[in-house]
Amino acid sequence: MRFFSLNEINLGRDLADRHIFCTIALMRFTKMHGLGNDYIYIDGPLSSVAVASELARAVSNRHTGIGGDGLIIIEPSSLADLRMTIYNADGSRAQMCGNGLRCVAKYAVDRQLVSSMTMTIETDAGLRHVECLRSDATLTIVRVNMGVPILDAKAMHISIDASPVLNYPMTFDGQDFFVTCVSMGNPHAVIIVPDISAILLTRLGPKIETAPVFQQRINVHFVQVDNAAHLTMKTWERGSGATQACGTGACAVCVAGVLTERCGRSVQVTLPGGGLDVEWASDDHVYMEGPAVEVFTGDWPV
């Protein structure tokens, strides 16, 4: 299949309007979400990174596109059962997406791309082991081994003379915060606050995401500790903005809570879109469990 640029697509539509014969291919897509963290999924590789980036921006637009937090491409893998490649809504490439992983697992089980409810998925952050605990036509509950958290500041491209970055004092938009940084394959800044409702996420989120100290930008999470087993969080995702949920972020929040002695190693994390169960287990791996939902399928002109 040939992939056309958006300019070519628009030209084709203009020609069609003038009753001049033209043919535009259609790409099948599926929209899925994990706790409202929604992506557009396509099965099969695109011709280039540039095409994928442009397509991600087009389909993610909530006014003129399908609407979503980004684009996820599902492909064969020589290392695992499948590969997922993630593009944020702004077209930038992301290493990892916990909610996306769960949805890829549901997609694979529902369409019999795999022969088992347990599978391995290749990502830009490495291999991840995934198990569908139960599944039906609409909802699948998925448990993911998200791997060992990374605490090294240099690995996260953070220019701070401290590693790990734990309760590190920083000032953003004239406000003082204590920041803990954790990578779950992608970098996260976790900020624990007494009252999450007082946080102006749309103001603070982009300022922290793009702060010069975070050389490759960062995901931002404000967290309220309700008790040792329950955390409430709001998320500003790098490249996508405010989202209903962030699976890797929930894992990072659990790790940050343990390291700063604010919660236990097994917690429920409540996000705007719902709850995730997260455990930083004795094997040093972080496990996340939550839903994956298919919304609809359709065709996009390419």
Check residue 23 and give its pLDDT: 52
Q: Please give the pLDDT value at position 13.
A: 44
pLDDT in tens, 36-93: 999 999 999 888 999 999 999 999 999 999 999 999 999 999 999 999 999 999 999 9
| Active-site residue, 246 included | yes
* Domains of the chain: residue spans and CATH: 6-147+292-301 (3.10.310.10), 168-284 (3.10.310.10)
- pLDDT tens digits for range 160-197: 999 999 999 999 999 999 999 999 999 999 999 999 99
Catalytic residue among 97, 132, 251, 254: 97
pLDDT beyond 50 at 1: no
Of residues 103, 181, 246, 251, which has the active-site annotation?
246
| Confidence band for 138, pLDDT divided at 50, 70 and 90 | confident
Residues in the chain: 302
Predicted TM-score (pTM) of this structure: 0.89
Amino acid 25: pLDDT: 84
Span 194-217, pLDDT tens digits: 999 999 999 999 999 999 999 999
Q: What is the CB neighbour count within 10 angstroms for residue 21?
A: 6
pLDDT of residue 227: 98
**Residue for token digits 């139960």?**
134
> Does the active-site annotation cover 97?
yes
